[in-house]
Amino acid sequence: MTTMQRTPASASGRAATSPAPEDGPRHTRPAWAGVNHLALITRDLDATVRFYDGVLGAPLVATIADEQMRHYFFRFGEHCTVAFFEYANDREARFDKTAGVFDPRSVHFDHLALNLPGEADLVDLQQRLRDAGHEVTDIIDHVAVRSVYFTDPNGIALEASWWVHDPTAVPIDHDGPLFSDPDPVPAVHAAGDR
């Protein structure tokens, strides 16, 4: 397999054209700038604000509301927010989702991982959660990333992580240590050949 290089953005801010397969057309990759927001649902927006703004320290930066719903945004970095809807007539029963454990009630979502800049920040957050009376795991070493896991007041599984080896900051190497699946799906081989 070949080593894939990240496609740099052009001076105009648009992504450069990536090399095309010999038998296919050339495509321009979108100039992604991160995740704008992840929209989740809460049945208790007050408890959600107290947890995300108060306990996690993610500032509440915007609120939208009408007769049917409220939609609140918490900042987790530049241009990056996690948002919550609270619907006026939502009466579904809550359930807690554990990160990385299959639950048939949550077939499209496992957990939200929030990024921290380093190990000391992870240790500080872990202690902050414990001091606020929230259960949190020990630090888990996943080789490329270290993490702690916890659940918000809505039962949403959360992970806080820092990249030990940031895969977004180095050239993509499908034969390198960040690709450790011993039997990857066929598309991984195809991606490595691009």
Regarding whether 168 and 113 lie in a shared domain, the answer is: yes
Residue 122, H or E segment: helix 119-131
Say if residue 126's pLDDT is above 90: yes
- Same domain? For 59 and 121 the reply is no
Cα–Cα separations (whole angstroms), residue 160 to 107, 127, 137: 22, 12, 10
* pLDDT at 44 (0 to 100): 87
Pairing label, strands 112-115, 37-41: unpaired
In a domain? residue 68: yes
* Higher-pLDDT residue of 188, 16: 188
Full domain range(s) for residue 125: 96-194
Handedness of CA 99, 102, 105, 108 (dihedral sign): positive
62 and 105 housed in the same domain: no
The verdict on residue 185 lying in a domain is yes
For residue 125, what is the domain's CATH number? 3.30.720.110
pLDDT (tens digit per residue) in 152-186: 998 899 999 998 888 778 887 878 877 777 888 77
pLDDT at residue number 89: 84
Q: Are strands 157-163 and 80-87 parallel, antiparallel or unpaired?
A: unpaired
Pair 27, 71: CB distance under 8 Å: no
pLDDT at 11 > cutoff 80: no
First-residue to last-residue Cα distance in the chain:
9
**What's the pLDDT score for residue 187?**
78
pLDDT greater at residue 7 or residue 68: 68
75, part of any domain = yes
pLDDT (tens digit per residue) in 137-146: 999 998 788 9
Evaluate whether residue 170 is within a structural domain: yes
Structure tokens at 67: 């007769």
